[in-house]
Amino acid sequence: MDLTTIAVTRLKGVGPKQAEKLKRLKITSLQDVLFHLPLRYQDRTRVVAIGNLVPGLEVLTAGAVVSCEQLFRGRRSLQCIIEDRDGSQLSLRFFHFNQKQLQMLRVGSVVRCFGEVRRGPRQLEIVHPEFQIIPRGVDPTAAQVGETSLTPVYPVTEGLHQLSMRKITDAALSHLQTATVEELLPESAQTAVSLKQALITVHRPDPAVEVDALLEGHHPAVQRLAFEELVAHRLSVQQIRTDIKKQAAPVIASEGSVCEQLIASLPFSLTGAQQRVIEEIKQDLTLGIPMLRLVQGDVGSGKTLVAAAAAALVVDAGYQVAVMAPTEILAEQHLLSFSSWFEPLGLKIGWLKGKLGAKQKRDALESIALGQTRIAVGTHALFQQDVVFQNLGLTVVDEQHRFGVHQRLSLREKGVEGGLVPHQLTMTATPIPRTLAMTAYADLDCSIIDELPPGRQAITTVAIPNTRRLEIVERVGAAIAEGRQVYWVCTLIDESETLQANAAEDTLIELKEFLPEARVSLVHGRMHATQKEHAMQQFKEHSTDLLVATTVIEVGVDVPNASLIIIENVERLGLSQLHQLRGRVGRGSQQSSCVLLYEKGLSQRARDRIGILRETNDGFLIAEKDLELRGAGEVLGTRQTGSAQFKIADLMRDKKLLPQVKQMTDEITVRHPQQVVPLISRWLGEESPEYGNV
Ligand code: ADP
Ligand code: MG
């Protein structure tokens, strides 16, 4: 039986509605379900005593309810305190609750709950725990029924819950009893674990499995899958590059007066590095084959301007440009920059995002189709099929590691008439060490902006335990009193935007209490786009002093007057991500600081990582260190924020596989070319209607 042809709807419990949601995760066949792998695991096999809880851990714990009250501070919430036999207390907080839950959580009930522990105002707390009431006479510290193995946590989408995802994978796994997954790697791959066994282990780790090895990804089952994924990925990337380089692209030969005017209109001069990279791009554009160039440059190195110069050259030659960013906030940022540079030169910038009003969208699309819009800025909405360019000559993709290869590819398809393929410029501030870049970006030529604009002050970075939080709040107040602006970044390990949003809202309430004078904005992923935009705009205009945000502000936000950033729970984030966040300050002429708040009881590795951030502002060095230090446990939770391209492989972790990956890729290309397409489609998805044919 061929799993690729069995539709998900054949699985028990999967109706048309579920199928629709699954499709959003690019899951349409049984094989897709099997290759939709857990992001991480939860340990619900043992109950941790309240006295042993540590902030940041996701745990199963239990206790009896000693108080339960509704609070109306700022926003209605329910606080329920539970206590265990040792007298240790834990607070359970709910922002959404119903009558039935109130009833269940009455004083005296014994509760077993699961969730992420964090530091609350008075004691440790779990916000929105999953909970169940334990009947009298049952030992609450006994493991949950049926939870004898680690619980997988899957990437999900709005309206599709973990529990449903577990049921769906259960159903798919039961098919494996009768069917088998085709081994697509040649026999010479000699893997230690069969594909089937690897899938079963990863989806439903049995209690005997070495938990740490699995969590850290060194387990042979994970390695088996990672290896195949890396092979598939490299094959796909190679294919893309070969195909593209065979095609013709617009020849952009003229020196371009728009570009000259743009540069002349700037209040500063280009750095040497910017000039060099612009030259490299100019060179590519003259060749008549599609440019595939990646510009790496640290935060604040001025990549946007390099993109604008490239855009100017292309526009001058009569072609259109699409500029795409991974988040709306970042796209808006580009819209503002591009508008401020190009509108004085008489060029209007088009704007396209997911949630535009019908009329606005129609107008935007029409203007793009007619070629009135010469430069269109937007989010992934620019990928959609209904976007038709008159003659697209260049696509600029910012922070491209967040987009998959296929997404990058589909933008190239929106080419110009007459079979010409647009040039592509991608930009990233998250440098990837050279060895890794060979695989991650094998389809791209690289340019590096290794120089910051003059006059930038180095950012002072300090790490401070959360116990000294009040001191920091005072420091925030002082900075605001001096007319500066401040970011406060809340992070949570949970992939749910709701919890992230809650954390940010709580912090907002807390900060307002202590800093009643401060004008405060809030930005998080659950807010409506227009609300977000409004909040960002206010902060940019300095109508607010303090921006409380989740990591949605990570990339690109540019407010030169902001000179202090506080980042909570730094132990949760990767070094490069922290470096990105830190780069939100130090954009003006003021001395800027970054305060890293951490929970007490940091591991040595976490301390080393923080040390590196304090010692250097060099993003490339930080990336190298990140690579050296990452691994063991701390990789946990980074997959979701890291490279969007891999389901299971982790370039840093699996670095040692890369030479074999290269060898295997070459062997398949030469000796088993018929396996190329099935491997690519297994790991990178079937053609997705949403993104057009690939
Ligand atoms: P990033 O590389 O992080 O995307 P940006 O392109 O956002 O950096 O640039 C950061 C800031 O530096 C912007 O305000 C931009 O206008 C400014 N900038 C860019 N190039 C220069 C330069 N050569 N001299 C001075 N400021 C510059
Ligand atoms: Mg940028």
pLDDT, one tens digit per residue, over 228-258 is 998 998 888 788 778 778 889 999 986 678 9
Ligand 1 in reach of 396 Cβ (< 6 A): no
Residues in contact with 234: Cβ distance below 8 Å, sequence separation at least 6, in sequence order: 439, 442, 661, 662, 665
**With contact defined as beta carbons under 8 Å apart, do 3 and 181 qualify?**
yes
Could you give the C-alpha distances from 621 to 63, 476, 573, 576, 613, in angstroms and in order? 47, 29, 17, 10, 10
Span 351-399, pLDDT tens digits? 998 778 889 999 999 999 999 999 999 988 887 778 889 999 999 988 7
Q: Indicate the pLDDT class of residue 344, thresholds 50, 70 and 90.
A: very high
**Closest residue to atom 26 of ligand 1, CA basis:** 453
Ligand 1 in reach of 268 Cβ (< 6 A): yes
Two tokens at 42? 């939860």
Ligand 1 in reach of 631 Cβ (< 6 A): no
Ligand 1 in reach of 304 Cβ (< 6 A): yes
What is the mean predicted confidence (pLDDT) over 609-622? 85
- Pairing assessment for the beta strands 130-133 and 151-153 based on DSSP bridges: unpaired
Question: For residue 359, with 0-12 CB atoms within 10 Å meaning exposed, 13-18 middle and 19 or more buried, which class applies?
Answer: exposed
Two tokens at 392? 């697209």
- Quote the CA–CA distance of 571 and 14 in Å, as a whole number: 39
- For the sheet with 593-598, list strands across it: 460-465, 593-598, 562-567, 485-489, 546-549, 520-523
Query: 502 CA distance to ligand 1 centroid (A)?
Result: 33
Q: Return the pLDDT at 635.
A: 27
**Closest residue to atom 13 of ligand 1, CA basis:** 302
Q: Ligand 1, closest atom to CA 560?
A: 14
Q: C-alpha angle with apex 502: 497 to 506, nearest 5 degrees?
A: 150
Report which DSSP code applies to 2. -
Count Cβ atoms below 10 Å from residue 620 Cβ, excluding itself. 17
**Which amino acid belongs to residue 534?**
H
Residues in contact with 87: Cβ distance below 8 Å, sequence separation at least 6, in sequence order: none
Closest ligand to 298 CA? 1
- Quote the CA–CA distance of 56 and 466 in Å, as a whole number: 13
Two tokens at 31? 């094989």
Q: Strand pairing partners for 547?
A: 487, 521
Query: 372 CA distance to ligand 1 centroid (A)?
Result: 28
Ligand 1 in reach of 271 Cβ (< 6 A): yes
Comparing 536-540, 548-552, 610-614, which segment has the lowest mean pLDDT?
548-552
Q: Which of 607, 586, 594, 589 is nearest to 488 (CA)?
A: 594
Q: Which residues surround ligand 2, an ion (CB under 5 A)?
A: 556
Pocket test for ligand 1, best of 271, 304, 590 (most atoms within 8 A of CB): 304
Q: Which of 335, 319, 446 is nearest to 381 (CA)?
A: 335
Closest ligand to 266 CA? 1
Helix (H) / strand (E) element for 423: namely strand 423-428
Span 133-178, pLDDT tens digits? 988 878 777 655 556 678 888 988 888 888 899 999 999 999 888 8
- Quote the CA–CA distance of 625 and 499 in Å, as a whole number: 30
Maximal C-alpha separation, the chain: 84
Query: 303 CA distance to ligand 1 centroid (A)?
Result: 7
- Quote the CA–CA distance of 18 and 165 in Å, as a whole number: 10
Could you identify the residue written with the tokens 């004008």?
519
Span 28-57, pLDDT tens digits? 889 889 988 888 888 888 888 999 998 888
Span 283-337, pLDDT tens digits? 999 999 999 898 988 878 899 999 999 999 999 999 999 999 877 777 888 998 9
Question: For residue 332, with 0-12 CB atoms within 10 Å meaning exposed, 13-18 middle and 19 or more buried, which class applies?
Answer: buried
What is the mean predicted confidence (pLDDT) over 452-474? 89
Helices (H), 121-184: 162-175
Q: Return the pLDDT at 96.
A: 87
pLDDT at 80 over 60: yes
Could you give the C-alpha distances from 24 to 17, 223, 671, in angstroms and in order? 11, 27, 35
Could you identify the residue written with the tokens 């004898």?
148
Q: How many CA atoms does the CB half-sphere of 19 hold within 13 Å?
A: 14
Q: Return the pLDDT at 639.
A: 33
Ligand 1 in reach of 303 Cβ (< 6 A): yes
Closest ligand to 330 CA? 2
To 10 degrees, the CA torsion angle through 413, 416, 417, 421? -60
Ligand 1 in reach of 585 Cβ (< 6 A): no
- Quote the CA–CA distance of 286 and 284 in Å, as a whole number: 5
**Closest residue to atom 1 of ligand 1, CA basis:** 300
The helix/strand/coil state of 677 is helix
Query: 378 CA distance to ligand 1 centroid (A)?
Result: 20
- Quote the CA–CA distance of 353 and 370 in Å, as a whole number: 19
What is the mean predicted confidence (pLDDT) over 79-88? 92
Q: Which of 449, 428, 430, 480 is nearest to 638 (CA)?
A: 430
Looking at per-residue pLDDT, the higher value among 100 and 533 belongs to 100
Q: What is the mean pLDDT of the chain?
A: 84
- Quote the CA–CA distance of 37 and 613 in Å, as a whole number: 32
Q: Indicate the pLDDT class of residue 641, thresholds 50, 70 and 90.
A: very low
Ligand 1 in reach of 456 Cβ (< 6 A): no
Q: Return the pLDDT at 456.
A: 78
Closest ligand to 274 CA? 1
- Quote the CA–CA distance of 229 and 231 in Å, as a whole number: 5
Q: Ligand 1, closest atom to CA 305?
A: 6
Q: Indicate the pLDDT class of residue 438, thresholds 50, 70 and 90.
A: low
To 10 degrees, the CA torsion angle through 288, 292, 298, 299? 90
Q: Ligand 1, closest atom to CA 587?
A: 11
Helices (H), 246-271: 257-265
Does this model's pTM top 0.85? no
- Quote the CA–CA distance of 219 and 484 in Å, as a whole number: 49
Ligand 1 in reach of 514 Cβ (< 6 A): no
Query: 67 CA distance to ligand 2 centroid (A)?
Result: 49
Residues in contact with 575: Cβ distance below 8 Å, sequence separation at least 6, in sequence order: 609, 612, 613, 622, 623, 625, 626, 629
Query: 557 CA distance to ligand 2 centroid (A)?
Result: 8
Q: Return the pLDDT at 689.
A: 29
Q: Indicate the pLDDT class of residue 637, thresholds 50, 70 and 90.
A: very low
Q: Which of 300, 338, 297 is nearest to 321 (CA)?
A: 338
Ligand 1 in reach of 428 Cβ (< 6 A): no
